[in-house]
Structure 1
């Protein structure tokens, strides 16, 4: 039963005694407190008291008892049942092996991906190298035919994207793989199919982009190749056509090229390097280019021959022929006669041009010719220009094609201003119209404007 403590407050010169009413009130409170905690349990530890109700106390005691019994029963069961322990150990070993197998499988996948990337990179590098070699070959072809592009049509190389030899490195792949065991602690691993699928799609897209770019570059090079082939074919056809035309004209004139070919032009030289036909497994481009070079060499030989063949007109503008070559009625004696040239009407003072290159052998008054100029073109070919009002060249002078050698007049045995023009082979007069028609056949494309 609780005791009630009375306190007394000491004050200087004063004391206080509790009243009966206050003592009764304290006794009532103490009795009520003792009555409410009559069945509680008090736990004392180091002077501290913890009061617990009977229900909570017995719950705690029952829980402790059950846990103890369960621990004793489990320990006894495991102690006398080796198969359970063996099963647990085997399960752990199986889980470990499963994780190791999964790790090995993933590492194998990583190795395969890396190998595939390296293989793709190698194939890409090979394709790039092949395109670079092809581009270089096309550039060499363009340079080889650049000399003839002006006359046969220009080739503008397409802008091909530049391809460098920088290796394309694959994305770095880490060899460290971190696994997290599932909550149920079984040998199940969560795969990342979504991420792997996205990676594969991205790689496929990149690969498709590279392949597309290489395909576009290859198509561009194909177009350049076809254009070069077409241009080269056109060059060959034009060269062959030109060579055949000049050769046919010279043949019709009865001129043998080896006989009439002049000496080498002045101010030329260099070591002799023969043009050899390609041998072995050469490309069609090389063989075609060789044929074009041969044709151009032949054309050059023909052109140097034509510079000494009088196939151009001796007067400026259209020719107005007043008397042809051959038999005619003499304008003075009115009897049959032989005309060794052709007469071309003109105005006094009109220029007279050399019809071929050569050396002046006569530049003076020559009886019925009047003022006459004779030019030796070599190899038995010569031309005469008569009845001129003025002579503008001297004996021994070298004249070029189209150079003015005098002026039209009416000197000598003439009835009016005109040009008497003769063509001779080995001092024998031949019809000049045969040479002039040959010049018209060749046209300005071969002879230029002086035809």
Structure 2
């Protein structure tokens, strides 16, 4: 019995041979049949759907591939652009960080250079002030007597208004500098990690500035003390020179002639001229030069005054028994000229020279009894009479305060005393005039 497939009750449709399609798919019992050129190939349903699925997948794959190739250029362009954007952003970030590192390093270099410059300025100033302190240390103390003594280096500065001359304290006791570490060693690493590791010494700008400020403030105080010392010393020398010239003028002495006749100080040595400060020199150097000139003048005037008999011939309290001028003669009871001063004393009290000079008389001299006469140059002479003993001889060079004899009562005398005379060009003048000059100079016996 012929099989008609699934067409129940209906005979299969037949086509003429010429009307059959070349390819045809017809349903067959339990599957599908493919007719080709009159031949029939039967396919099961599983294989059929596998073939259909494969065709569909191939079609989808073809469509996807076509779409991919159609749009791949845009996708690649966007991907490349995105990658380029990310790369540029990364490079910009790196460049920004690198610039930040460079700025930080440059700032560190600038801060270090500024610190080094400030520190170098402070150290140069310290060295200058130390040299000035050494120069001030060579200045003598000018006492009220005009004598030149050794400088008191350890005298503290307490009061600028006191009579003593203040001395500057040593700079090393006030400022202590520590040499800065090597700059290249600190700037050897310039990586961001080194910068972010923590604050370094250079990062503490405020602290460094405070230290520099304190150092400069301390140096300012030292410099002000040095200026005060210079002012006090200069004023002391100038006032001393004025006072000594005034005393010589009041005594009726020719100051220029006496200074010219005064022996020069020192013994010898090579001649080294004093350097005159230039117009560009600091005020300290100029003032120090003026002080040295005034100091030399005071020393020359001191040598001149060493030949002026303004000191007392006896030690201790002065008690005059007779003054200079007209008095009643103790022997005759008549007015007579007394050419000197009588200093009351005890027998054997030492009699001292009132100025430097040379002994021109030593022996018995009429009413003077035993007498010593000293020539001080420039027409000045002194006489010491009524001595009980003479300790010098003619031609001896006498120093100030040297004992020339002893108080006595030889010659025309009524009791132990010293008859003291001062003469200018052989004419007696009041010795109290010279003693008052000694008081003005602050001279002690």
TM-score in terms of structure 1 length: 0.74
Tell me, in whole angstroms, the C-alpha distance in 2 between the residues paired with 1:86 and 1:436. 118
d(CA) in 2 for partners of 1:368, 1:71: 161
Kept in 1, the 8 Å contact 2:390–2:406? The answer is yes
157, 168, 175: which is aligned to 2:170? 157
Query: Secondary structure, in 3 states, of the residue corresponding to 2:183?
Result: coil
1:234 paired residue number: 232
* Structure 1: distance between partners of 2:363 and 2:436: 29
The residue matched to 2:138 in structure 1 has which SS?
helix
Which of 124, 131, 135 is the matching residue for 1:140?
131
What's the counterpart of residue 246 of structure 1?
Answer: 244
- Segments of 5+ residues of structure 2 without an aligned counterpart are 1-56, 140-150, 153-163
Q: Does 1:217 align with 2:208?
A: no
- Partners of 1:119 and 1:68 lie apart in 2 by 73
Over 3 Å counting, the alpha-carbon distance change for 1:111 and 1:134 in structure 2 is same
CA distance in 2, matches of 1:167, 1:327: 89
Note closer, same or farther for the CA distance 1:71–1:157 as it changes in structure 2 (3 Å cut): farther
Listed one character per residue, the Cα deviations across residues 204-232 of structure 1 (whole Å, up to 9, x for unaligned) are 75222221211111111111111111111
- Decide whether the 8 Å contact of 2:101 with 2:192 is kept in 1: no
SS at the partner of 1:152?
A: coil
Name 1:400's counterpart in structure 2: 399
Counterpart CA distance in 2 for 1:74 and 1:234 is 107
Contact 2:347 2:406 in 1 (8 A): yes
Matched, 1:367 2:357: no
Q: 2:183 aligns with which of 147, 158, 168?
A: 168
**Which is worse superposed, 148-157 or 285-294?**
148-157
Q: 1:275 to 1:235 in 2, by over 3 A?
A: same
Look up the SS of the partner of 2:371 in the other structure.
strand
Distance 1:68 1:176 in 2: 58
- For 2:302 and 2:349, the matched residues in 1 are separated by 28
Name the CA distance, whole Å, in 2 between partners of 1:218 and 1:412: 75
Counterpart residue number, 2:301: 302
CA change 1:350–1:80 in 2 (3 A) is same
| Secondary structure at 1:360 match in 2 | strand
2:256 to 255, 258, 263: 258
Report the Cα offset of residue 247 of structure 1: 1.4
Task: Give the Cα–Cα distance (whole angstroms) in 2 for the partners of residues 288 and 249 of structure 1.
Answer: 26
Partner residue, 1:342: 341
Deviations 1:240-277 (A, max 9, x none): 12111111111111222321234435761123344454
Q: Distance in 2 between matches of 1:307 and 1:147?
A: 24
Q: How many residue pairs align between the two structures?
A: 361
1:114 to 105, 108, 118: 105
- In structure 2, relative to structure 1, the CA distance for the partners of 1:282 and 1:319 (3 Å cut) is same
Match in the other structure for 1:183: none
Map of 2:96 onto structure 1? 105
8 Å Cα contact 2:320/2:341 also seen in 1 = yes
Closer/same/farther in 2, CA of residues 204 and 392 from structure 1, 3 Å limit: closer
In the alignment, structure 1 residue 89 sits paired with structure 2 residue 80 = yes
Identify the match of residue 68 of structure 2 among 73, 78, 97: 78
SS in 2 for 1:443: coil
Higher normalized helix content (fraction of residues)? 1
Q: Answer with 157-166 or 73-82: which moved more.
A: 73-82
**5+ residue gaps, structure 1:** 1-66, 178-194
The verdict on how the C-alpha distance between 1:93 and 1:419 changes in structure 2, with shifts beyond 3 A counting, is same
Residue 387 of structure 2 corresponds to 388
- Aligned residue in 2 for 1:355: 354
Q: Separation in 1 of the partners of 2:61 and 2:430? A: 140
* Closer, same or farther: CA 339–410 of 1 in aligned 2, 3 Å: same
Q: Distance in 2 between matches of 1:385 and 1:124?
A: 74
Secondary structure of the 1:145 match is helix
Per-residue deviation at 1:175? 5.2
How many Å apart are 1:373 and its aligned residue? 0.3
**Aligned residue runs from structure 1 range 298-337, under 5 A:** 298-337=297-336
Q: Is the 8 A contact 1:128 1:163 kept in 2?
A: no
Quick one: structure 1 residues 145 and 266, their matched pair in 2 at CA, closer, same or farther if it must change by over 3 Å?
closer
The separation in 1 between residues aligned to 2:367 and 2:126, in whole angstroms, is 70
Partners of 1:78 and 1:85 within 8 A in 2: no
8 Å CA contact 2:108, 2:202 repeated in 1: no
Distance 1:73 1:295, change over 3 A: farther
Distance 1:78 1:218, change over 3 A: farther
Distance 1:114 1:402 in 2: 77
Cα shift readout 1:276-312 (whole Å, capped 9, x = no counterpart): 5423122111111112111111110110011110000
